Structures are given as C-alpha cells and as structure tokens.
Amino acid sequence: MNATEVAERSFEAKVLEAVPDGERLRLCLECGNCSGICPFGYLMLYPPSRMIAMMRADRINKVLETDTIWMCVSCYACTAVCPSKIPVTPGLMTSIKEELLLVGNVPAELQNALANSQRYGNPLGESPRKRADWTMGIQPEVKVMAKHKQPVDVLWFVGDYASYHPRVQSATKALARVLNALGVDFGILGAEENSDGDSQRLAGERGLFEMLAEKNGRAFSKYQFNKIITSDPHAYNALKNEYPALGISYPLQHYTEFLAERIDQIKLLLKRQISARVTYHDPCYLGRANGVFDPPRELLCAIPGVELAEMTHNHSNSLCCGGGGGGMWLDGFQWEKAHVRLSDWRVREAINTGAEVLAVACPYEPPRFEDAAKTMPGADKLKVRDIAELLAEAMDV
C-alpha cells in the first residue's frame, strides 16, 4: 500500500468508527436519497452518496481537494431518509469535515468562529466575563452559581447566542421571566459557561469540542442541581448525545419540554390573548435529530387565540434554517456558492401558510429568519417570535 492508499483506507476506518453504528456505512445501496433530499446537495461536487462511491473507489483524496462539502449544514435530512439507516450526518459528513480541517481546507469565516471559541469559549468573540450581562434588570434576580453558592433545582445552560446575540437576548429574558413567574428555582453558570461546542464538532473541530465540553463538565461538577435545561437545541444535542461519552451526564430537558410538563400551571397564567395564525419551525437538533416535536406545539396551542398552521415541511421533514454544522459561520461562503439562503426558503413556506407569526425554539433562528423576512416579498407582516417570547407576552410578564 502506498501513502495515498493508507490515507484512503484510514478515512473509511475513521467513518466506520466515528459513531456507534458507523459500520452501517457498508450497507449503502447507492440509492441517492441522501443527496436528493440534501438542501444544498445540488451545489455539492460530492454529495453524500457520491462521496461514498468515491470512498469505495479509494478516491477520497479527490474529495478533500474540493470545498463544496462546506455547504453541508448538518441538518440530518439525509440521515432521516436513508433506507439503510446509515448515520450520514454524524458519521460521514462530520468525518470528512474533520479531514478538511486537518489539511487546512477551511473557509476563513469558519476559522474565525473556531478561533474565537478556543480563546473566548464562544464563537462570537465576546468577553466571557459578559456572558451573564443579559440578566441585568430581571427580577427576581437570576442566580449566577459562583455567587449564589447554594444548590438549585434547575441549572439553565443558556448557550452562546442566547447569552450574547442582542436579538436572541430578548427571548432569553422572556424565558427568565416565565421561569420566575412559575416559581422555578434556577441558576446559570454565567462566566463559567462555555460554548456547548456541538456546531464546532459538526464543523469538524472535534478537539475544540472536547476542550469546551471538559470546561463545562468541570463547571457542572462544582455545583448542586437536579437537572439541566437549555434554550439551545445544539447544546441539548451535545449534552444528551455527546457529553455522556466524556463522562458528563445529567438529567436534561429542552426548555420547551420542561415547560410543557408544567402546562396546567402555565395555562392559569396565560391572561392575554394572542390572536394570530402561528406556524412553528422544527429546529433540526430538537426535532429531526432528537425527536422533540410535540412539547413546542403544546405550548403554542395553550396560548388563547393562537391558531397553529403547519408548513409543508414539518416534523421530521422540516427544512433547515441554514445555521447548523458551522452554517452559522459560513453565510458569506455559502451565499457566494448558492445566492440563496436556506432561511429564505423557510420564510417563504411560512408566508404560504398565511401565518402572522413564525414561532421558533432555537437561538440561531430569530436573526436568520428575520434577515430573510427583510427581503422576502410578502413577509413584511411576518413576525419571528421565540415560543418563550409568546408565552411571556401572554402571561404579561
């Protein structure tokens, strides 16, 4: 075997070992379903099925010379439709991105987000000391664990965009007010919280993911709490499916699951009517990847006046907002290749339902969908609201 052959074979071995059911890769039928359903498959030189064919022909090095794999937003659509149940997204796509990263074939935008995550513990490049700044003005005060020094019932893993992004902070504050209204005893890690690292992992930076996970694991172990809730489906995915293998394991819920369990208590507090047709976008990492479809809908339907309308693509068939797997940090790169944003397609579907509100449950989405709505004809009346914002409004808190 020459050196190239060794590299080819080690890539196949890597994919087979990347995830517990990686071996299933051998069962590929070359049906092409994965490439067909991929939202950006038409722009990839080597969409998943073709990449598998290249791997079988020992020609994966050709794939490593191209950059269109960076169109992959790790949305799990391919994985969901594969008849052979091959873990295409976490196995194949993530492994190939890891290889690209090691050979230095990484778009500059993505490098920035990764370097920021290394240095500051968040991809936005914000000061870690300011991670809890959003809590200012919330009453009763949000407890920061390092200061509170007492056990809490619930540790809220807030996440990067929910902590720092000015638009998303409004949803974060709304959730804090809702939790307060319900009398939940909760705390946050503040400056001790680091990025969950999941999108960095799916963008090929496994080492960075582990570094961030270890930091979060150390912070968790300092405090006493009964469970973790999170606003961020990406953090949810990491904490649920990836952290346990690193020895970090706690009972976990997405905030929509946590609140849906308290639906009777919430209903008593929903004083205000929100008369609107509302459509709900299933975030990839809450819905398709983790099967949480009903709790967000239950919460929406509990609000008096809300009429829920489904988009054409819903539940496990939902369309990605374009932010996953590093997409959040590849907007310029992907625009150059596609001249369309995945969020544009989603907003168009939302308009077609006749909805006045596009409800979301992931911190990546408000800025992505609001940006798309700015340029999409017919979207001038469409409001993008996090479910927590709608609940806070209906509770008048």
Partner 1 sequence: MMNIVVLAKLVPDLVEELTIDASGAALDLTFARWIINELFDDHAIEQGILLKERSGGTVTVIAPDLEGADDVLFTAAAKGADRLIKVRSDFSAANNHAVARAFSAIIKGFQPDLILTGVQAHNDLDGSAGPLLAESLGLPYVGYVSGVALADGKFMVKKEYPGGLIAEMEVTLPAVFGIQAAEQPPRYVAVSKVRQAMKTSSIEEMDASDLDLSGAPEIERMFQPEAAAHAEMLEGTPEEVSAKLVALFKELGVL
Residue 156 pairs in a beta bridge with 229
Closest to ligand SF4 by CB, 182 or 338? 338
| Contact between 32 and partner 1 per CB under 8 A | no
> How many residues form the binding site for partner 1 (CB under 8 A)?
22
Q: Answer for the pair 161, 364: CB distance below 8 angstroms, yes or no.
A: yes
Tell me the closest approach of the beta carbon of residue 121 to partner 1, in angstroms: 12
Q: Which does 89 bind (CB under 5 to 8 A by kind): ligand SF4, partner 1, none?
A: ligand SF4
For binding to ligand SF4 (CB under 6 A), which residues are involved?
28-34, 37-41, 48-49, 52, 72-78, 82-84, 86, 88-89, 93
The contact mask relative to partner 1 for 184-213 (x = CB under 8 A, - = no) is: --------------------xxxxx-xx--
Judged by CB under 8 A, does residue 333 bind partner 1?
no
What does 207 bind: ligand SF4, partner 1, none (CB cut-off 5 to 8 Å by kind)? partner 1
Query: 74 touches which of partner 1, ligand SF4, none (CB within 5 to 8 A by kind)?
Result: ligand SF4
Least Cα distance to 15 among 3, 23, 7, 6 occurs for 23
Q: Is 118 in the site for partner 1 (CB under 8 A)?
A: yes
Task: For 55-107, give the DSSP string.
Answer: HHTT-HHHHHT--GGGG----SHHHHH-TT---IIIIIIHHHHHHHHHTT---
Tokens of 277: 């047709």
Q: Is 4 among the residues that bind partner 1 (CB under 8 A)?
A: no
Question: Kind and range of the H or E element at 228?
Answer: strand 225-230
For the sheet containing 276-280, what is the strand order? 306-309, 276-280, 357-360, 383-386
CA–CA dist 163, 119 (Å, integer): 17
Q: How far is CA 105 from CA 67, 81, 115, 241, in A?
A: 7, 29, 15, 28
- 32, burial (CB in 10 Å: exposed 0-12, middle 13-18, buried 19+): middle
Q: Considering the complex, state which of residue 181 and residue 248 has its C-beta at the smaller distance from partner 1.
A: 248
Tokens encoding 103 = 């050979």
Minimum separation from the CB atom of position 120 to partner 1 (A): 7
Which of 101, 266, 360, 387 contacts partner 1 by CB under 8 A?
101
129 binds, among partner 1, ligand SF4, none (CB under 5 to 8 A by kind): partner 1
The CA distance from 353 to 276, in Å, is 12
Nearer to partner 1, 76 or 164 (CB): 164
Residues in contact with partner 1 by the rule CB under 8 A: 101-102, 104, 106, 108, 111, 114-115, 118-120, 125-127, 129, 204-208, 210-211
